[in-house]
């Protein structure tokens, strides 16, 4: 009986050690993917938006971004936030875009210009920035 208990104990410890090692490996892999995603988003942002300043004949504004590696989707996501003023009428606008950086696939957009608002996240329509934020939140947290 003691031998059986000893064998079960040894097997339990061995499986626990392997499980702990697997968890360490998973955390390291996830960390590496998060780091690569951050670098990929930096590169994408600089290629598409330079230093983030917009000053052309039509508008004046800036663009910022947030990167996120979504473990559940295994996707590198970037959330672009653009705010500015249309020079021809001094109206303020806001534009937000959520996309997969590697596949250049757009998951959603938000556009507000005065009283006009358009937004969509994976074909789910929304009517306000608050609704947009709620729809985007799960993608940027998982």
Let me know if residue 76 belongs to a domain. Answer: yes
Q: Is residue 56 part of a domain?
A: yes
Average pLDDT over residues 69-85: 96
Is 1 part of any domain?
no
The verdict on residue 22 lying in a domain is no
**Amino acid 113: pLDDT:** 93
Mean pLDDT, the chain, rounded, equals 86
> Who has greater pLDDT, 34 or 3?
34
Write out the H or E segment, with its range, that includes residue 14: helix 2-49
Q: What is the pLDDT of residues 104-140, one digit of tens each?
A: 999 999 999 988 999 999 999 999 999 999 999 999 9
Res 14: pLDDT: 46
In a domain? residue 103: yes
Q: How many domains does the chain have?
A: 1
CB 79 within 8 A of CB 108: no
* Segments forming the whole domain that contains residue 59: 40-141
Q: Cβ(112)–Cβ(91) under 8 Å?
A: no
**pTM check: above 0.85:** no
Q: Report if residue 88 sits inside a domain.
A: yes
Is 18 within a domain? Answer: no
Say if 3 falls within a structural domain: no
What is the band of 37 on the pLDDT scale with cuts at 50, 70, 90? very high
> Strands (DSSP E) along 9-135, which ranges?
53-55, 59-70, 75-86, 91-100, 105-113, 116-121, 124-126
């Amino acid at each position: 009986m003691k031998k059986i208990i000893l064998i079960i104990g040894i097997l339990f410890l061995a499986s626990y050690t392997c499980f702990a090692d697997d968890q360490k490996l998973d955390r390291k892999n996830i960390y590496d993917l998060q780091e690569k995603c951050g670098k990929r988003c930096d590169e994408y942002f600089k290629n598409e938006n330079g230093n983030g300043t917009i000053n052309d004949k039509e508008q004046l504004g800036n663009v910022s971004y947030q990167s996120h590696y979504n473990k559940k989707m295994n996707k590198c996501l970037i959330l672009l936030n653009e705010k500015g003023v249309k020079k021809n009428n001094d109206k303020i606008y806001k534009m937000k875009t959520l996309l997969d950086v590697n596949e250049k696939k757009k998951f959603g957009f938000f556009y507000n210009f005065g009283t006009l608002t358009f937004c969509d996240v994976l074909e789910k329509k929304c009517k306000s920035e608050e609704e947009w934020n709620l729809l985007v939140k799960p993608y940027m947290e998982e």
